[in-house]
Amino acid sequence: MREVETMATVNSSTSARRKNASVKKTKATFVGVTLTHPERIYWADTGVSKRDLAEYYQAVWQWMRPHVVGRPIALLRCPQGVGAQCFFQKHASAGIATAHLHQVREKGDKIISIDNLEGLMALVQAGVLEIHTRDTTIDDRERADRLVFDLDPGPGTNWRDVIAAAREVRQRLGQLKLKSFVKTTGGKGLHVVLPIEPTPWNEAKDFAHAVAASMARDAPERYIATATKAKRSKRIFIDYLRNSREATAVAPYSTRARPGAAVSTPVQWSELGSLKSASQYTVKNLKVRLARLRKDPWANIARMKQKLPRLT
């Protein structure tokens, strides 16, 4: 079965490259940003093109904007699409037009953020298929204003185990009078996100570590708080390591460079029980979901400034 799946992936990638090689030298313009080769296929298995990606981000921008504007970002670029060569970068470099990007010098280089939809379209033009953000603003990089608990399922666990872990993180934070939010990752897990008042990184990371360690201590058969892969079997890794100065996590509404064109999607806590997987929402179906929502699942998160209690 694995050989068949591998061959299918190879054939899919080869087909995509052939299609991209035959794409005519056309252009399209979105909010003043010119996209070259808009019909280039980025996700061969679903037929999602560069134009489709631009249209997707244009449709979800008002939902995505509060979570990416003014934050340092890191990028996963796949100029030829999923299945071809991809690379991760945290700084502006060759291949990215910087006219619509916000750049700030840091450690001898320039980190990136976006201020508007034009900046997001510049990333689409550069073949960016994943956008990752720091848990801080670009103007106050020495303090965190969000914490992310990344729930990563190990071998032998299932989706219900991930949901149970997210609910437990929420419960523990709730006992401390802290309100948290949840989103799918577009991969295998969930992110529980905690908005906080700006807090020095050492304090923020220590708090996240304490929560993760307490879960692993209380239920070692279900949870682990260390990154050791050999010990993750049948356990959920409560990854608190996203909470350091230069660490990043996939942004809400960002696409993932994986088959299916899945999207990291904020959801209501009440929706968890009906979710089938972390990759349920995609470029093709998320707009339908948003059209049906009566309110933003993460309404007011950007304005919440919760003080972290000291955990002993």
Give the model's pLDDT for residue 24. 56
Give pLDDT, residue 20: 52
Write down the domain spans for the chain: 2-133, 143-303
Q: Which fold has domain 143-303?
A: DNA primase, PRIM domain (3.90.920)
Flag residues of the chain having pLDDT under 70. 1-25, 94, 312
Domains 2-133 and 143-303 share a fold: yes
pLDDT of residue 312: 64
Give the whole-angstrom CA distance, residue 165 versus residue 151: 7
User: How high is the pLDDT of residue 280?
Assistant: 97
Give the tens place of pLDDT for each residue, 89-131: 998 776 788 888 999 999 888 999 999 999 999 999 999 999 9
pLDDT score, position 16: 52
Which CATH code fits 2-133? Answer: 3.90.920.10
Question: pLDDT tens digit string along 56-77?
Answer: 999 999 999 999 999 999 999 9
* pLDDT score, position 292: 95
Q: What is the pLDDT of residue 91?
A: 87
